[in-house]
Every structure is written in structure tokens, then in C-alpha cells.
Amino acid sequence: MTESTKNNNRRKVLIGMTAAFGAAGIPFAATPFIAAWNPSAKAKALGAAVKVDISKIEEGQIVQVAWRKQPVFVLRHTKSSISSLPSVETKLADPNSLAIDEPYRDLYPTRSKSDEFSILAGVCTHLGCSPKYHPEVEPKPWDATWTGGFFCPCHGSMFDIVGRVFKGVPAPTNLKVPPHNFQGSILTIGEDKEIT
């Protein structure tokens, strides 16, 4: 065997080994690239449902949770706040939520799937500020006959205790009601149907 034949054989073996190692390494190199196409955990969490234990929420108390990076108010009503709802209807722009796609219209006065809880997106329908909860039934600088509800300090929009918008304020519609369901003392925000 000549020197040039030996070099040719050696070259073929080295090329073959390099090709084999390269082919074996392709899956390892491609895995992070392909994994980058999958949605991140953060992106998955944006649409994930949120569970809230409502058993510890007292009457008249509100808790705020985050769903899809937005605040959601969970408010447990007193019997007197529910019974006072008709008294403010003349001040409201859309007392029956006919101007919006209301998911639970006419189920309960709370605008939710419960007769004692309201579940409201905590974002003003005007420019996206977060309205503040003012449950006191007393004169306020923004309304001398205030009976409790939400006031948006950004531009003065007012909503009653179940998130219905007042007439003559910048907010065009009632606060939105996110999809939700109740299973015993667990409220799930982001899922509409009960899982049995």
C-alpha cells in the first residue's frame, strides 16, 4: 500500500467519523431551537385559570386577584347592599347590561353565577385605570348621594356595587365580568364550565 493510498483511507475514515459525530449532534443542537417555538411558561400562565378560596371572604369584603395580568375584584355582598341595588338604577347608563356582552345576564343581581359574590374585571372601561372600591354609604366629593361602589380616580368614572356604570361619566360601559364558576368554596376565574 502506498503512502498516498494510506492517506486517502485515513482521510475517508476521518471524514466518516466527523460526519457521524456531526449527525449525532444535530438533535442536541436542534432541541433548544425547536423548544423556542413552544410557548413559554409565562405565556401559558397568561391564559391559565385562577382558583380562589372564597370561604374566608367576609360580607362586604373585596379581594383582588390577578388573571391574565389584570386585576379581578371578588366582592362578597351584604344582604343590604343587594337589596339597595334598585335604588341607584335611575343613575345608571346601562342597568341591565344590554350594551355589552354580559355572560351571566339575568342570573342574579350580582351579575355573576352567585347570589352573593360579584366577579369584576378591575379595569375601568374608559382608559384602563383601576377603579377603587368605596363601600361606604355616605356623601363623597364625586357624589353627594353615594350608596357604595367603585370610583375611578383617573377621570371620575363611577360604578355601582356590582360594577354598573353611572350616566354622564367617561366610562362607556359597565365593568366586565370574566368567565368564572363556583365549586363549593372554590371560585375559578377563567373557566366558565363546572368540571364534574
Q: Report the CATH superfamily, name and number, of domain 49-189.
A: Rieske [2Fe-2S] iron-sulphur domain (2.102.10.10)
Closest among 157, 151, 159, 154 to 170, alpha carbons compared: 157
Q: How far is CA 40 from CA 8, 46, 85, 190, in A?
A: 50, 10, 44, 19
User: Cα–Cα distance between 131 and 123 in angstroms, integer?
Assistant: 7
Q: Please provide the distance, in angstroms rounded to a whole number, between the alpha carbons at the two ends of the chain.
A: 79
Query: Rounded to whole angstroms, how far apart are CA atoms 120 and 46?
Result: 18
146-164 pLDDT, tens per residue?
A: 888 999 998 999 999 999 9
pTM of the predicted protein model: 0.73
Q: How confident is the model at residue 196 (pLDDT cuts 50, 70, 90)?
A: very low
Rounded to whole angstroms, the Cα distance separating 52 from 50 reads: 7
Residues 6+ apart with CB under 8 A from 86: none
**CB of 88 within 8 A of CB of 35?**
no
Q: What is the pLDDT of residues 87-121, one digit of tens each?
A: 999 999 999 999 898 889 889 999 999 999 999 99
